[in-house]
Structure 1
Amino acid sequence: MPSVSRRTLVQAAAGLASVAAVGSLSACSDRARTLTLVRPGSPAVAAAELSRRVPGRRVVSARLTPRPVTVDLGARTVDTWAYGEQVPGPMLRARAGDLLRVTVDNQLPVETSVHWHGLALRNDMDGVPHLTQDPIPAGKSFDYEFTAPHPGTYFYHPHSGVQLDRGLYGVLIVDDPAEPGGYDDEWIVVLDDWVDGTGRTPDQILTKLQQVSGSDGSMGDMEGMDHGSMMGGSMMGEMGGMQSPLLGSAGDIVYPHYLLNGRTPTDPVTLSAKPGQRVRIRFVNAGSDTAFRVAVGGHRMTVTHSDGFPVAPVLTDALLIGMGERFDVTLTLGEGVFPLVASAEGKQGQGLAVIRTGTGRPPVAGVKVRELSGQVLLGTGLSAAESARLDRRSIDRRHNLVLAGTMAPYRWTINGKTFPDAEPLPLVQGERVRLRFVNQSMMFHPMHVHGHTFALAKGGARKDTVIVRPMETLDVDLQADNPGQWAAHCHNIYHAETGMMTTLSYQARE
């Protein structure tokens, strides 16, 4: 849906002139009608930000300039949009409690925004156009200013259309002042699926997906459609295509390249260390339609953090990372040259990095790693560390989020409706809220909630993004401690853009 149409619909539904909450309050329950909407600019949002301030905090300043660029991916040079001269964009780093001031100078030919993925920051800085802020027009700038409350591995990207599927993303690390350490080095590994500048743009792909069927549900304009290189989901599933034994239908798009730190496997990045060193790897899946199965040849990994929060350590051969998820792992390195492989789950292709601690030939682009076929861990298989557990208390409010969709027409829904027509999910500050994700589709959905972390039920990990597998029901609990209007959506960017999004809508008692 074009952003101008979305803006018109959202503002009409909420009756606001500028920054608005999505949906009509008249559609909420009787209880919700007696409450007042907590808007992004409300005193409650400012008070929550004030409570995050800590003595002696620093001010960390940065500037991001999204613009058209030409970047070298290793195998080829492409024209794309990015925040700098390379992909990923500039890494931002702060300590928990620091104040971040980031100026975004939009030199793109279109509107944009920046969302700070995973951070429980102030609502008016969350970067969702027409929900928490007006979009940043072409040629204009916007100043983001917020406290970084929790340590962890995060990233930033637009929340405008399918811009994420270009080169517009970068990593944000929030360090723990009390970090216990226990490792000798740290590597940041960013995974991505890449199509921009290879003859198609993400916007062209989205248009083609939406043109697959006519208004009557029949197959529409198929001229020029290359199902083998573009389509996925149930259509490819029937043809024996993108299928995963762990995830079911593994995506809607086959990408020509899969990147690790902005490089293709034919010209990979090299990560250097000494034999016997213990390394912390921070994994970020910045992909738009692809989960990655990651492993290091000849090594096992210990998972220590998920989406920024510590977990009970688990040793595994491989780790499955959905779009928007982040995991920290540690491993002790042997001597030699080893492949770090990020296999596109259910698809053909992989990302690659070379780990070098000694002499030896580098692995070839299509190297096979035995560990990928060993024990594979998902975020739903982790338990929260004791320090990351929510306190035990009764549930005050429950919401079901029923996930469904079709490939023809290309339409993805929450509770039977597409954004912005989906009814907001009301909650009140101080409540313990249970969200029940009910996946009624044959495709996995990495569900992401803005402004909060949630706890997987029964002691599971603290996360903000979680894979919900086909026909699975998954319960998560969150503490309603960050007032405002918050997006909740699938982090398959094509699903979100065609409807799989709703709003957690804080309301205040009159």
Structure 2
Amino acid sequence: MHSLSRRRFIGLGASASVSLLTGCSKAAGERSGPSVPSNGSELAARRPDVVASYLAGPVDLDLAGTVASSWGYSDTVPGKLLRARAGELVEVTVANDLPESTSIHWHGIAIVNSMDGVPGLTQSDIEPGASFTYRFIVPDPGTYWFHPHHGLQLDRGLYAPFIVDDPADDVDADIEYIVVLDDWLDGLGTTPDDELTRIREMGIEMGDMDDMDHDGMSMATSPLLGGDAGDAVYPHHLINGRPLNDPLTFEPRPRAGDRVRLRIINAGSDTAYRFAVGGHRMTVTHADGFPVVPIEVDAFVIGMGERYDVTLDVQSGAWPMVALAEGKKMRAAAILRTTDANTQQAPDLAADIRELDGAWLRYADLRATNRVALDLPTDIPTRRISLTGGMAGFDWAFDGRPYGEHEPITVSEGEWLSLAIENTTTMWHPVHLHGHTPQLTGLPGGVRKDTVNILPGHTVQLTFQADNPGEWMLHCHNAYHLEAGMATVLSYTT
């Protein structure tokens, strides 16, 4: 019998977790809309339960002996863990020591609109040398993360995990690890901005990418993603800031037979990962922070911005944890070693593990638990929008119109809406909606997700109630596609 009371550790691999709780929980774990007091003065007068600060600035990242000079939060990549409980008031001060403006977006959390962190839409830039204090209530428990919404800063290492604990969590686990995946190129003779220029020039030179040999252009292809898997070329793929040739061993080590909970976050900018643990099957318990009916799989594909919680009963030994860069012939990896295993015992992290080609997770396999499944009314209106563009012009957009030119999607508070998003391009896109966690209708299980991978030629239906007023971004979470303009706004009307 595994019990939460036996949990010995929660953290980011080898480094200790940074838990910043300063008070007691104010709410149970029931899911609803944003639990923000209607009276702004009431919120302003309330003492925060969690107080934290982050410095966005230069950082030197050691990649197996090669030092990459880049950016990060408080001199670490990933940034230190932020942790709270559902219903608590969080206050985070961000100081900007970068040479350019920045912001923080709280990915997946349905907070008050003014704190969502999109410059020019919900707040002003945090200018160099300035600071800004975010203050909001976290309504829903789950695995989340935060990052800038400013240019290609995400691809420089500005990201950190944010875990919101659930007082009603029924996941039995003895030990827990947070696993942050990332694709890395900054500080290794190039920058994300240089890579964007290269990609754009490649599109101009090659013309129509559909008729070209992807391998000849350093492009990646994946049947699981419907073709083109990514545009950017990365020399490293990381787990918790560590590359394949300097892998992390998760500490403290679990005992043989322990039930391990993994909270997996894809903080990459252009890479989907196929994730598996050698010698083990995994039970998926949460998708994008929201609980699902547990389902056992060998592997799953996780797109940029997505999160999955899984459990596994670890066997004695040293086991490879592998994140295969889908279609890119590279990988990130780490080691899960039990306390009874010889410290010299190490798996071959470059070898293929059979689980990567085993039973893998599909959205249709995921069923929302009764606790979070939406009570959908009949006759919900549908709005149809299309993902458009291509590599030839690098003109990624919604309905052929880039951000700033696309007419906002309007909705009234309290209204139900179903967004039918059709991918008319030849590339997959991880689409993320701010401020809401829709239900995927049209699929058997109706899983709730804020970030959804849409394959070429496919349509995904996102259904939700407009219960969080404001101006909310809807965009592709490929950082390079977003920078090209693949975004629009969900706008509440009065």
What's the TM-score once normalised by structure 2's chain length? 0.87
Q: Please say if 1:348 is aligned against 2:326.
A: no
Aligned match of 2:214 = 237
Q: Please say if 1:99 is aligned against 2:73.
A: no
Aligned match of 2:170 = 180
Secondary structure in 2 matching 1:155: strand
Which letter maps to 1:388?
V
Work out the CA distance in 1 between the residues paired with 2:436 and 2:36: 16
Secondary structure in 2 matching 1:65: strand
Which runs of structure 2 are paired with 1:490-501 in the superposition (5 Å)? 490-501=476-487
Work out the CA distance in 1 between the residues paired with 2:39 and 2:175: 33
Select 2:376's aligned residue among 386, 392, 400: 392
Aligned match of 2:249 = 270
Which letter maps to 1:89?
G
Work out the CA distance in 2 between the residues paired with 1:376 and 1:232: 29
Deviations for 1:386-436, whole angstroms, at most 9, x for unmatched residues? 111001202443221201111121110101111111110000010111011
Q: Identify the structure with bigger relative contact order (alpha carbons < 8 Å, sequence gap 6+).
A: 1
Aligned match of 1:24 = none
Whether the 8 Å CA contact 1:234–1:249 is kept in 2: the answer is no
Task: Tell me whether 446-455 or 381-390 shows the greater mean CA deviation.
Answer: 381-390
Which letter maps to 1:346?
G
Aligned match of 1:473 = 459
Work out the CA distance in 2 between the residues paired with 1:60 and 1:235: 52
Which letter maps to 2:482?
A
Aligned match of 2:347 = 363
Work out the CA distance in 2 between the residues paired with 1:45 and 1:174: 14
Work out the CA distance in 2 between the residues paired with 1:97 and 1:176: 9
Which runs of structure 2 are paired with 1:61-460 in the superposition (5 Å)? 61-212=51-202, 237=214, 239=216, 241-247=219-225, 248-271=227-250, 272-357=253-338, 358-360=340-342, 361-458=345-442, 459-460=445-446
Q: CA deviation at 1:245?
A: 1.0
Secondary structure in 2 matching 1:77: strand
Q: CA deviation at 1:75?
A: 4.8
Secondary structure in 1 matching 2:395: strand
Work out the CA distance in 2 between the residues paired with 1:480 and 1:48: 16
Aligned match of 1:12 = none
Work out the CA distance in 1 between the residues paired with 2:469 and 2:256: 48
Number of residue pairs matched by the alignment = 451
Which letter maps to 1:448?
H
Which letter maps to 1:344?
A
Whether the 8 Å CA contact 2:437–2:450 is kept in 1: the answer is yes
Which letter maps to 1:491?
H
Secondary structure in 1 matching 2:371: helix
Whether the 8 Å CA contact 2:35–2:87 is kept in 1: the answer is no
Q: CA deviation at 1:439?
A: 0.4
Aligned match of 2:25 = none
What's the TM-score once normalised by structure 1's chain length? 0.84
Which letter maps to 1:129?
P
Work out the CA distance in 1 between the residues paired with 2:450 and 2:211: 27
Whether the 8 Å CA contact 2:180–2:239 is kept in 1: the answer is yes
Gaps of 5+ in 2: 1-33
Identity among equivalent positions (%) equals: 49
Q: Please say if 1:462 is aligned against 2:444.
A: no
Work out the CA distance in 2 between the residues paired with 1:380 and 1:502: 27
Runs of 4+ with deviation above 6 angstroms: 49-53, 231-234
Work out the CA distance in 2 between the residues paired with 1:65 and 1:290: 27
